[in-house]
Amino acid sequence: MNYSLLFEAPEHRQHAVNFALALSERTTLEPGPYERQLLARFVAGELLLSEVEALLEKEALAPRPSQNKLDC
């Protein structure tokens, strides 16, 4: 489904993000700094919702440095 018409106006995007943030507040789903940055860019109209999703998926698949390595 194409949601682009629902989010054409900045106030609609802000309302949607505020709603999502309220639902996730104080849960394990509450966004971190990177997610909040992407949401702010979405509200500003810099990113489409599909682009936010793609960037989040890319971040989730990125390899993490191992914290079990010993520095020699």
pLDDT in tens, 23-33: 999 999 999 99
Is there a domain that residue 71 lies in?
Answer: no
Task: Give the integer Cα–Cα distance in Å for 29 and 22.
Answer: 11
Is there a domain that residue 68 lies in?
Answer: no
Q: How many domains does the chain have?
A: 1
Residue 8 CA from chain centroid, whole number: 18
Is there a domain that residue 22 lies in?
Answer: yes
Is there a domain that residue 66 lies in?
Answer: no
Rounded to two decimals, the pTM is: 0.78
Is there a domain that residue 24 lies in?
Answer: yes
Quote the domain boundaries for residue 53. Answer: 4-60
Is there a domain that residue 37 lies in?
Answer: yes
Tell me the helix, strand and coil percentages in the chain, rounded to 5. 60, 0, 40
DSSP secondary structure letter of residue 63: P
Mean pLDDT of the chain: 87
Summarised one tens digit per residue, pLDDT across range 33-58 is: 999 999 999 999 999 999 999 999 99
Q: What is the pLDDT of residue 7?
A: 78
